[in-house]
Structure 1
Amino acid sequence: MSTAGNLRKVTGFDKVGGLRRVARLARRRPRVDLSHPARSPLGSSVVNCVAYREGVRIPEAGDLAEALTRVRRTGGFVWLGLHEPTDQEFAGVAELFDLHPLAVEDAVEAHQRPKVERYDATLFAVFKTVCYVEHDELTATSEVVDTGEIMVFLGEDFVITVRHGRHGSLGPLREELESDPRQLAKGPAVVLHAIADHVVDDYLTVTDSVRADIDQVESDVFAENAARVDPGRIYQLKRELLELKRAVVPLGRPLEDLATRPTRTVDPEIQTYFRDVFDHLMRVKDHIGSFDELLNSILQAHLAQVTVAQNEDMRKITAWAAVVAVPTMVCGVYGMNFDHMPELHWRFGYPLVVGVISVACLALYRGFRRNGWL
């Protein structure tokens, strides 16, 4: 069977329906939401496949192989979007676009660090997507940040996006790009920039939401009864912040390379846009660093408050123990049952001893109260 036949079998595209059927489905559901467990609205890993010429969709381009042949003959590029494809589903795509096996393995297996690699005329980029998980109240087990991945294969006439995770849909991004044909006509690198910008903008949104959680924890720590605040909430925020850091920090070097190093697939004009994305990423990185330091300070302040509260309790316990020690000592002495003891047979001995005990206890109580121990 030919490569085109293999691809039709793998992806579900045939020569009769092809892109026309995909475009019709896209018009019915212009904003595809893949947050549900279903992998794709098309029943397979294929989310969308569109050919563009001069920034405008080609309405009747045939199947994927024919669309690629047409754009290579007349100009333009093909954008294929996939969601968590299997090895079998991606095999036809890898063969048609001559993708490097190492990059294909990374795209299918996922769980990769953010990176940009070059394989001859193809560029392979990995972006970590993040999503803020809404919660009514932050607890020691609350999930704050959910992560996913977007892999991008970029060639001179094609873009292949492979998404992993239940968030980070590129449907709205595709619509936004299609609304500006002049920009989209600059080629596949525009799509790569738009994805990078979209991912980094999500970083900024998530950091704003995490900042709100940190502010709430900080308010609770410095409020009354702060010693009763669960320190697990602080540790949980630090863990979730570490997850966000793993997505943001490794992306710095790849974005810097895209902004500065010349490549066949990224026009110098587009590199200027990557510099702006890199600046935004550095701002997110600074936010994460400051959040981490602030959480460390909050944790230290909470531990200090717990220590102060414990010392306060110990002072009170010690003060009351000293007060109770006076009658205990006196009663212990007179409880030894000796025949010859001072004032043992005197009528006023008992009231005198009780009075001495009361005066001594009152003096100790006032002394401790004056010093702030009680």
Structure 2
Amino acid sequence: ILYAVLDYLVDELMLIGVHLQEKLDHLESMIFDNRFESSEIQSIYDLKRKVARLHNMSAPVGDMCAELSRLHPEIVPKELIPYYRDIQDHVQRTNRLTFMLRDALSDALQVNMSLITIRQNEVVKRLAGWGAILTLPTIIFTMYGTNFKYMPLYDWDIGYPVVLALTGLACRELYKKLKSSGWL
């Protein structure tokens, strides 16, 4: 009876491991398809806890089967020892699965964080590019707004439109250069 109970328990633990593997596969596909929201990181941690619980449930069963295999033949008949070793093998497979799942979940978290960092770097590049474009007219117009008496084009009738045109041209050229380099 003990063998039947342990065999059933280990088979169920393996099914739980396979189910957790399917959940992990789904999470990984969401991460790489950019459908994974940062609010769903909790699901990875929940899955890690479930994997740890699975390991905590299966490891003692393996130890128990190892002890049963070593007991005196009067307590555990010799003909049952191969069955307990079979259960022990199933437990080892389940434990290997939990180790693999734990590593894969850690890898999934690291990949997700790397993808987030890459997206943030792209946003920062764009912000820096637009900041550079906006800095150019800010500096030019600040200089002309200081009311110095002797500024280039200051006393000329078309000086203001020329400064505006040159500033617009400089901004356009900077925009084209940043766009071609991938910063915008």
TM-score with structure 1 setting the length: 0.47
Matched, 1:300 2:110: yes
Matched, 1:364 2:157: no
- CA displacement at 1:332 relative to structure 2: 0.4
Count matched residues. Answer: 184
CA separation in 1, counterparts of 2:22 and 2:182? 37
CA separation in 2, counterparts of 1:263 and 1:300? 50
Mapping of residues 332-343 of structure 1, within 5 Å: 332-343=142-153
Alignment CA distance shift 1:363-1:229 (3 Å): farther
CA separation in 1, counterparts of 2:97 and 2:63? 18
CA separation in 1, counterparts of 2:171 and 2:56? 62
**Which of the pair is proportionally richer in strand?**
1
The one-letter code sitting in structure 2 at the alignment partner of 1:354 is L
Mapping of residues 155-234 of structure 1, within 5 Å: 191-226=1-36, 228=38, 230-234=40-44
Consecutive unaligned residues in structure 1, runs of 5 or more: 1-190
1:81-140 per-residue CA deviation (whole Å, 9 max, x = no partner) reads xxxxxxxxxxxxxxxxxxxxxxxxxxxxxxxxxxxxxxxxxxxxxxxxxxxxxxxxxxxx
CA separation in 2, counterparts of 1:195 and 1:361? 77
Aligned to 2:134: 324
Secondary structure, counterpart of 1:230 in structure 2: helix
- CA displacement at 1:264 relative to structure 2: 2.6
Aligned to 1:273: 83
1:156-201 per-residue CA deviation (whole Å, 9 max, x = no partner) reads xxxxxxxxxxxxxxxxxxxxxxxxxxxxxxxxxxx00000001001
Secondary structure, counterpart of 2:34 in structure 1: coil
Secondary structure, counterpart of 1:314 in structure 2: helix
Deviates more, 1:264-273 or 1:293-302: 264-273
CA separation in 1, counterparts of 2:25 and 2:32? 11
Report sequence identity in percent. Answer: 30
The answer to whether the 8 A contact 2:58-2:94 is kept is yes
- CA displacement at 1:262 relative to structure 2: 2.5
CA separation in 2, counterparts of 1:263 and 1:353? 101
- CA displacement at 1:263 relative to structure 2: 4.4
The answer to whether the 8 A contact 2:136-2:167 is kept is yes
Mapping of residues 1-374 of structure 1, within 5 Å: 191-226=1-36, 228=38, 230-374=40-184
CA separation in 1, counterparts of 2:43 and 2:169? 49
The answer to whether the 8 A contact 2:69-2:76 is kept is no
CA separation in 1, counterparts of 2:124 and 2:104? 30
**Which of the pair is proportionally richer in helix?**
2
The answer to whether the 8 A contact 1:323-1:365 is kept is yes
- CA displacement at 1:216 relative to structure 2: 0.8
Q: Which has the higher contact order (CA 8 A, sep 6+)?
A: 2
